Structure 1
Amino acid sequence: MTVNLIDQFPEIEIKQNEPLSHYTNTKTGGPADWLAFPANVDQVQQLVTFAHDQKMPLTIIGNASNLIVKDGGIAGLVIITTAMKEISVHDTTVTADAGAAYIDVTKVARDHSLTGLEFAAGIPGSVGGAVFMNAGAYGGETQFVVSKATIMLPDGTIKELNNQELDFGYRHSSVQDNGAVVLSADFQLKKGDQAAITAKMDDLNARRAAKQPLDLPSCGSVFKRPKGYYAGKLIHDAGLQGYTSGGAQVSTKHAGFIVNINHGTATDYLNVIHHVQKTVHDKFGVDLHTEVRIIGRD
C-alpha cells in the first residue's frame, strides 16, 4: 500500500512530485517524490520517525545553495527546513534554527554588536547547511563559532552535540556521518564595535561581489581546495573559463564557479564538472574533488 503523506500529515505543508529546480540555487533538479516543509521540531520528528519506521529514503535540504540535485529527482521524502528560521540572542550567544539563512544570523549578530561571524556575511546557505558542511569563507569557518548544535538522529531521538562532538574538518562535520538532521545551533561570539563589524561585512561582501558571478544561478564554489593549490587557479590555468555544456558554463568571472547561463540541467552541470576534473588532472596531475553536494537519481 502506498502511503499518501499529504493525508498522513495534514497539518504539514507537503507536495508530491515537486520539481526541486524551484528550490535549488542552480535552478536545476528533478522532482522529489514527497517534499515537506516542517514548521517546528515536532513536525520534523513526526516526519523523520515516520520515514525511519517505513524504511522510506529521507533527504534533508536547507537553502539548497551548495547542492546539485540530479535530473532524476530524489526518491522518498525530502525535508526542506527553511520554514524553521527563528534567531534569538542571549548575552553573547546567538541561537538559530536550522532553516535560518546564515546571512540573516550575521545581521542579527551585527545588530547586537557581536563579532565573530563577519566571514559568513555573504554565505548563501542555511544554518543547518553551514553546520553540516562546516561552511567557511575569507579565513573563517563555522567550527570557530559554533559551541553546540541540536540534532535529530534518524530514529527521531534528539540530542545536543558540542563543538568537539561535531568533529569539524574541512567542509565536514559528524552530521554527515550519522544521518542526523540539524535542528539548531548556538554561535558563541564576542562583544565588538558595531561600526567595525559593519565595515568588515561590507568589505567582504564588496570583495565577493567583485570576484564572484552573483548575478547568475550557481551552486557556489564547486570544488574543494586541493592541498597546495587553489581550484579556481588550476581551472583558469587549464583554459577552462567559458567552457560550456548545454546551459552550464565555467564562469568567466571566477573559474571556481559553474553558472546556469541558459536553462541548464543538472546533467549539464555534471558534464562540466567531469570535463573540468579530467582536464585539470591531465594537465597538472591534480585531482579535484567536489565541495558541492551531489544527490538524487540519474
Structure 2
Amino acid sequence: MTRFVLTRLVLLVIGLFVASALIFTTLRVLPGDVAQVIAGTDSTPEQVQAIRVSLGLDRPLPAQYVDWIGGILHGDLGRSMLTGSSVTDQLLQKAQVTVPLALLSLLIALVISIPLGILSAIKHRGAAGAAMSMSSQAIAAIPVVWAGMILVAVFAVTLHWFPPQGFPRAGWDEPARALYALLLPALTIGVVEGAVLLRFIRSAALEAMGQDYVRTAAAKGLTRTRALITHGLPNVALTVVSVLALQIAGLLVGAVIIEQLFNLPGIGRMLVADVGNRDLEKVQGEILAMTGLVLVIGTAVDILARVIDPRQRESAA
C-alpha cells in the first residue's frame, strides 16, 4: 500500500509539471498582446515595447517558465499583468464562491443519484425502473447552460423561489443570503451531474445483484433490496468513488459556465474575463490551480478506492 501511495504521489508531481508546461506553452501561442492591451489603441510601438520589457515578455520563453515555476514552488502563482494583484490572493477570494458552489452541487448530485440509482436497479424489471433510467439519460444529455436557463425560467422568473442572478456584496458575512444565492446554480449543476452518476450507480447495483453472495443472502431469507443494501453496497460505493474524480472535473467545467449565467463572482467568471484581457500570468495561474485540484482529487480517489476494495490490495500483493 505504501509503495502504491508513493507511486501515485510521484505521478501527481509529474502530471503537475507536464500540465504547467502545456499551459504555459499554449497560452504563449494564442493571438493577442497583453502589452498592447495595457498600452491602449493610441500607443506607439515604442510604448508597447517598453511595457513588454517591464513585464519581462521580451525574455526567452524558457527563462519566463523557470521564473514562473520557481514562484509556484514558493507558493506564488504570479501577479496580474494588468493590475499587479497577487494571483494567489485573487484565487482564494474567488474560491469562496466556487468551492461552496462545487461542494453543494456535488452534495445534490449524490443525494439524487445514490438512492435513485439503487432504486432504479431494484425496480429495473418494472415501469418505474425503466422510467428512471430513461429520465436520467435524457437529463444527462442536457447541456448545463440549457438546464440553468430552464430552472431560472421556472423557479426564478415564474415561481420567484430563488433570485435569478447575483451574490450578496457582503459574501459569507451574510451566510443565509449567500447560501440562498447558490442554491439554484448548485441545483442546475447537481441535477445534470446527478443524472450522469445515477447511470453508473444503477449499473454497479445491477452487477452486484447478480453476484453469488447477494443471491445467497436473498436465498437465506433476506429481501432482494435488503440483500443488496447489506452485501452489495461496497461495490456500489467503489463505483461512486471511482466516478467522483470525473464528476469533480465536470463540476469545475460546469461552474465556469454557471458562474457566467448566474453572474457569480467566482473563479470561472474571473478566468473568462482574464482570458479576454490577455492577462497571461493570471490565466496560467488560474488554469494550473484548477488542473492541480483535479489531479489531486484523482489521486485521492485512486488511493481511497484501494483502501475500500481489498481485492485491489490482494492483486497488488
* TM-score grouping bracket, smaller chain normalisation: under 0.3
TM-score, normalised by the number of residues in structure 2: 0.19
**Counting helix residues as a fraction of each chain, which structure ranks higher?**
2
Q: Tell me: higher relative CO, structure 1 or 2? Use CA pairs within 8 A at least 6 residues apart.
A: 2
TM-score, normalised by the number of residues in structure 1: 0.20
